[in-house]
Amino acid sequence: MKQFTANNLKLNNPVKDFMIKDPYTAEITDNVKEAIELMVSNKIGSIIIVNSNKKPINILTRTDILKLIFFNYTDITIKDALKILKKEKVKLFTINENDPITDCIEIFVSKGIKHLPVVNSKNEVIGVISATDIIQKVSYLIFIDNLTGFGNRHYFESLKVKLHKFHGKITTGLLMLDIDNFKRINDTYGHTFGDKVLKKVAETIIDNIRFVDEAVRYGGEEFLIILFKAHQQVVLKIGERIRQAVERIRFEEHPELRVTISIGATLCLSTSNIEECIKRADLALKKAKKEGKNRVVFPPPEGTSH
């Protein structure tokens, strides 16, 4: 299961959390041909131009290079090239590594630029950031649950595309998990500790499913596990393994607490759609609760012989 690593990423995080480190630079006295070779060999879209003291003074982009090639200005210095491009007096915007990423976004939007050199307290270039870098990393915020690192309901909607792709080709197992008596845990120990329980249960789930499987935080204390290429025995085995592992969880500050989960399981066959499967798993979960909690319930889908 591919658990997200950007689960603590926030829009008030510093620029250094988003930037590309150690960007490619060229000195203003270098030849344009050297800049072209640097771009081509490293497949990059821009080069930061620095002076003899390694301070950033300009940026040369692919568009700039294309203009120079078109007018046959390739065998000249970068300094002369900037004059031809009428960029020698253009103010270079930079951003400090510790500035919030919102400041960077504001510069991109208000100035209409696509790349920003990132500098440290000595105004030395230590990175570069583009609008694409931000979009790629911020996209995680839309699709992950910040507490557990699991995909959220938005992520699950995107997963449906993958599920539909496999529809009719493989049998998929579903586990709907719910932490038993979670309201009582919150009421007794507080919501901060309740969050700790949620996070620990999520970690335990990750440790007990396969890498190819997916885990989603479906609701407050409810999780949905998608098991690809799984028959009934596999679904039951993984569900029971998770249940037992959660039952073994202990908290040093509250050794008396015993956390358990109830699990509703089902198979999603070629004749089923994902919404029907989720309904079956949810009904199985309700049955597990009614039968006393801390158990896995699997009423096989009608018509299956697994």
Q: What is the CA radius of gyration of the chain?
A: 27
Kindly report the number of other CB atoms within 10 A of residue 170's CB atom: 14
- Estimate to the nearest angstrom the gap between the alpha carbon of 287 and the chain centroid: 34
Cα–Cα distance for residue pair 105/117, rounded to 1 Å: 13
Placement of tokens 């557990």 in the chain = 148
Q: Give the closest residue to 119 by CA, choosing from 99, 90, 89.
A: 99
Residue 33: CA count within 13 A, CB half-sphere: 4
- Estimate to the nearest angstrom the gap between the alpha carbon of 10 and the chain centroid: 12
Q: Give the closest residue to 179 by CA, choosing from 246, 251, 244, 225.
A: 246
Cα–Cα distance for residue pair 57/47, rounded to 1 Å: 11
Residue 37 annotated as catalytic: no
- 59 in helix, strand or coil? strand
Exactly one of 203, 221, 247, 252 is catalytic; name it. 221
- 161: which 2 tokens? 């595309």
Size (the chain), residues:
306
Cα–Cα distance for residue pair 3/206, rounded to 1 Å: 8
Q: Do the beta carbons of residue 140 and residue 13 sit within 8 Å?
A: no
In the DSSP assignment, the letter for residue 79 is H
Residues serving a catalytic function are 221
